[in-house]
Amino acid sequence: LFAAPWDFISAAPTIETLPPMQGMEIALAGRSNVGKSSLVNALTGRKALARTSVTPGRTQELIFFRASPELTLVDMPGYGFAKAPKEKVEAWTHTIRAYLRGRVNLARVFVLIDSRHGIKPVDEEILDLLDKAAVSYAIVLTKADQVKPTALPHVIAGVEEKIRKRPAAFPVVYPTSSNTGAGLAELRGAVARLMSE
């Protein structure tokens, strides 16, 4: 599934420019600098599929990748950059809300959280959006290589506690590192299982 070469399909800056739905869709969301581009590249095995953001928050588009007609991967625009003007944040929220509500083939959103930081208020806002849109989501911890192996279970437990009462949250948390490759097989497996459901 992931072994096939991934192609760039399109980049949609607005809800009017989304590509037609095809097969199952999986989206990745996370605040700027969380390691989303690195994870997209690591998951797909391609070095430059997602643009690793030079300027945080520059990528304001939903980016669509496909390896087969059955599965589309969506790189959602990063959120939470401090210097963003209010209108930009509102435009982002508008687009994301419309995407989440209208995309019936969207099977799961993986919300990326930095292992060192845990869930912050800015992350809670996207979890609220997901709960309201009733879109199933799971938390992926990034940069797991940056915390001591003995501390990781505590980070996971902290995240689990924060999502426990959230209606659309999937209870499994996936620790990953794009640097070491840890957890990538588990994440690919989770996607493969979604497809066979």
Residues that bind ligand GDP (CB under 6 A): 30, 32-38, 52-53, 78, 142-143, 145-146, 177-179
- In the bound state with ligand GDP, the residue whose beta carbon lies nearer, of 127 and 184, is 184
Could you say which DSSP state residue 79 is in?
Answer: B
Q: End-to-end distance of the chain based on CA atoms, in angstroms?
A: 15
Q: What is the CA radius of gyration of the chain?
A: 16
* Nearest approach, Cβ of residue 76 and ligand GDP (Å): 10
Cβ 131 to ligand GDP shortest distance, Å: 22
For the CB of residue 117, give the shortest distance to ligand GDP in the complex, in Å.
Answer: 12
Q: How far is the CB of 165 from ligand GDP (least distance, A)?
A: 27
> Nearer to ligand GDP by C-beta: 38 or 44?
38
37 vs 44, beta carbon nearer ligand GDP: 37
57 CB-near residues (< 8 Å, 6+ apart): 32, 77, 78, 81, 83, 84
Closest contact distance (angstroms) between CB of 50 and ligand GDP is 7
Of how many residues is the chain composed? 197
For the CA atoms of 190, 192, 195, 196, the dihedral, rounded to the nearest 10 degrees, stands at -100
Q: Which is nearer to ligand GDP, 81 or 170 (CB)?
A: 81
Give the CA dihedral 69, 27, 130, 23, nearest 10 degrees: 0
Q: How far apart are CA 36 and CA 63, in angstroms?
A: 12
Q: 53 vs 60, which CB is nearer to ligand GDP?
A: 53
